[in-house]
A and B are shown apart, each in its own frame.
Chain A
């Protein structure tokens, strides 16, 4: 590598280097650095994207992708006529909706509360503690919930010792949506406050001072300055959430599906897993995933459109 080809990066502006070929020669070591990541993404992300075509085949593991017979929309006809699929779709939407209502506001509220704490020390301690569960696996989080709320867990020990009846929350399908949501709150709400705290810190304090001078009390300042100040981030998070409305904690569901039962805990992802991998009906699983992917994209675009109508940037600027 000679110094001649490695022009100082200061000159790395398109107008300084009009010839594509010489830019390529100059940046070839940078391009080489990108190769490992691109190769991994092609093999494990892009190839499977095209592998989605198995949804239109009667895939057989022995024939493989190239020799399995094409069946057109047959798999989708099979999928849409399966009542279990519709039950999985229904469960997914219900769980998503419950989480949207009960989980989504929690990090915002927590961030507002923490932001209002003057003492740096208290804020740092609370932040460190609430971030922690984000780093635990779902296996660990569900184990901890089971030990606290399960039939033999701490809550029921307490209930038994005090002569009140017992209630095994972990296996009750009727309250499963609330259980799942409380698990998500326990594990992720703390981590979720980071982005809101950043937005809060970016609000100009002079606005508060001016409002106070105009006689606005703390609640009016919260309503007229703080909340509008983080509106953009709230809308962005909502758009992302709506784009993921068909994804509700795959591992979390998979782990608990056995205890709670399929009627309450089967979601689109676990449906694809059980039909695709466990029962080796690969085409049906792939079709369920593809259906989910296309619908998710539509949700994301719709949510972003709504964000634009509300005058916010959403995912990208108009």
Chain B
């Protein structure tokens, strides 16, 4: 299956509409416009309300009766509150640490493996690929994995959130497809200049593959940042929790957050001008920020990255 990637195509402009194509009808265009605006609104409005509520004063939240849609009485008090909260700050550090260390480990393993399998006609690359691909369709399931990780000392340890999910075969296939497409002349030239496989990977193949490595790094980083289930499985102690566990426990399940100024029944008794809801939404916003920061830089490479893995793998 050959696939042309629908990246920015300069020929697709209104003025370039081919002359055999009928001009758009007013009704059709309005209909499409309404649907597209609705789709975008359904994604963005909840995010907007989350961020705005986290920035709202108690009066504004009370006036809105909960989530805030229109800015009115903004304050950073909720953020001041969570930045002095030990639990939140510690979980933020844990999330950042897991994400950074995990992504580094995953990228090294993935890039090496992808390059090792990307040179045409190399020794045993087919059977090795089979060993990889089998894991995409078969798995031991939850219980045996839990027992293995626990037996290796993963229980109550940070690495249980990194090593079991460190390799994604899908990502290896994406990177391998990209590496295989590196111009053979370039690699031959490096070989003639005396570069071995390690040198070729580092000095020739990697610098020409920035797009795909950026996308795959984002996939891994998002995976680690979103780690929830492994934390639930392996981390009994809230001192080691990542942010996702904190949100799950204190926002979704509605338990009172230690040091948030809430008592055990969730009643707010502080004198600050913020509500528990604003504090919860501030923590939620905190987990959104890194994704929103990195996303625009990597987004344009998505299509290429995803399709390479899906089609050529």
Question: CB within 8 Å of B: which residues of A?
Answer: 1, 3, 6-10, 12-14, 17, 20, 23-24, 26-34, 36-38, 40-41, 43-52, 54, 59, 61, 64-65, 110, 113, 115-120, 122, 124-126, 128-133, 135-140, 142-144, 146-148, 152-154, 157, 160-161, 186, 190, 194-195, 197-202, 205, 208-209, 212-213, 217-218, 232, 250-251, 254-255, 258, 269, 272-273, 276-277, 282, 285-286, 289-290, 292-293, 297, 300, 313
Contact = CB atoms under 8 A, between A and B. Distances in A.
B47 interface: yes
Given A30-B115, A129-B44, A40 B144 contact: no
A146 B50 CA distance: 11
User: 9 smallest A-B Cβ distances: which pairs?
Assistant: A48-B140, A289-B141, A51-B144, A137-B226, A33-B116, A37-B113, A201-B6, A48-B144, A8-B191
A251 B307 CA distance: 26
B207 interface: no
Interface of B: 1-6, 8-10, 12-14, 17-18, 20-22, 32, 35-36, 39-40, 42-44, 46-47, 49-50, 53, 64-67, 69, 108-110, 112-113, 115-117, 119-125, 128, 131-132, 135, 137-149, 151-152, 163-164, 166-167, 169, 172, 184, 187-188, 191-192, 194, 196-198, 200-201, 222, 225-226, 228-229, 232-233, 244, 247-248, 251-253, 281, 284, 287-288, 291, 295-296, 299, 302-303, 306-307, 310
B144 A198 contact: no
Contact of A276 (B131, B135, B142): B142
B66 A157 contact: yes
B124 to A, nearest CB: 7
A198 B131 contact: no
A54 B145 CA distance: 11
A136 B292 CA distance: 10
B interface secondary structure, majority: helix
Contact of B14 (A119, A137, A293): A119
A29 B10 CA distance: 43
Contacts, number: 314
A154 B66 contact: yes
Nearest to A152: B66
Given A44-B164, A118-B14, A213-B20, 19 more contacts: A6-B191, A6-B197, A9-B200, A10-B184, A12-B119, A30-B125, A30-B197, A31-B124, A41-B167, A47-B144, A47-B148, A48-B140, A52-B144, A116-B32, A129-B44, A142-B252, A143-B252, A195-B307, A212-B20
Contacts of B152: 43
A190 B116 CA distance: 34
